[in-house]
Amino acid sequence: MNTQYFTGKYGVATTIYFTLEDPAATSSDLLFDGTAPLQADMLIFKDGVYDSTSDNAPAQINSDRLYSVAISAAEMTANRVDVIVHDASATTFRDAHLVVLTHVALGSADIDAATGTKANTTALKLTGYGSGHGLECVKGATGNDIDAALGKHVLRAGTCQSGSASSAVLDSSASATNDYYNGALILFHTGTGAGQARVITDYAGATTTCTLNKALAAALGADTEYVILPGPDSWAISPGAELSAMPTYASTMMQIVQFLFQRFAYKREQTATDFSMKKVDDSTELDNATLSDNGTTQSFGRIGA
């Protein structure tokens, strides 16, 4: 029995063309050239299950040693369609095994457009249908969904152990270094909280817990999958926190913004010689500056000088 392989689209009627060998010959190069096999000679299996209603009679292509068989759309609703061409008399033609694949399982595929004969050729084009995707990738136990330039953009990917509306407990193998993911963007793409993204304002390495810059619509769960994308550490302090020391020109933008907020929103005290900024308790001094007034010009010294 010889085996011949074909491909087709799932759920789409397909016609395949095949050859049969002459059983009387000792050379497999000699092909049968006679009456086409009957419907009773055709056995069709869908994913290994025989379907007696799907046996189709093949046709001979003119007088040549080529035959065709039509496989209906219903018969193509399988990952693999096996057609056994069986000669019960064993005197007319050798049995044949025709395999039609609608899904191909590959251990590894290397598609290189450079090996072709056409210039400027797309190596791979994938077109989704209906709600199907053009490409769906499933990562391995320790791999990335896509390992290329895009894969290197991801700082961390995994599944949360738990979480709340304002925090996420990353997987246990996440970094043990405090503040390691500070300023990065965390995107929740699967499970509870899917479709939302937040900035990480603080990270505790001992518990792999991220504090988010603002609350989510609902608490995260153990089914929440995430990716962390690198970002600048511009959110040096969490919302609601105040400065503990004066920022400088080298401080983060958020610290400078927080200084402006405290300058105009918190309590200030001014005497003839001193200007001071208070903390949120209205009594503790953040810092002060000298003040002079000669009757014409009022001058404030540098705060924190």
pLDDT digits (tens, 9 = 90+) for 219-277: 999 999 999 999 876 666 666 678 888 888 877 778 888 888 888 899 999 898 998 99
Return the beta strands (E) in 13-86 as ranges: 14-18, 42-46, 49-50, 59-60, 67-71, 80-85
Backbone angles phi, psi at 239, to 5 degrees: -55, 135
Q: Give the max Cα distance, the chain.
A: 123
> Is domain 2-101 in CATH 3.30.70, yes or no?
no
Closest residue by Cα to residue 304 from 239, 234, 233, 251: 251
Give the Cα separation of 189 and 229 in Å (integer): 13
* pLDDT, position 111: 81
CA angle, corner 260, sides to 259 and 263, nearest 5? 85
- Say if CB 169 and CB 219 are below 8 A apart: no
Residue 301 CB neighbours (<10 A): 14
Residue 195 CB neighbours (<10 A): 9
The whole-model pTM stands at: 0.50
* Regions of the chain where pLDDT drops below 70: 25-28, 53-55, 90, 116-118, 233-240, 304-305
Task: Name residues whose C-beta falls within 8 Å of residue 84's C-beta, 6 or more positions apart in sequence.
Answer: 42, 43, 44, 45, 95, 96, 97, 98
Give the Cα separation of 75 and 115 in Å (integer): 36
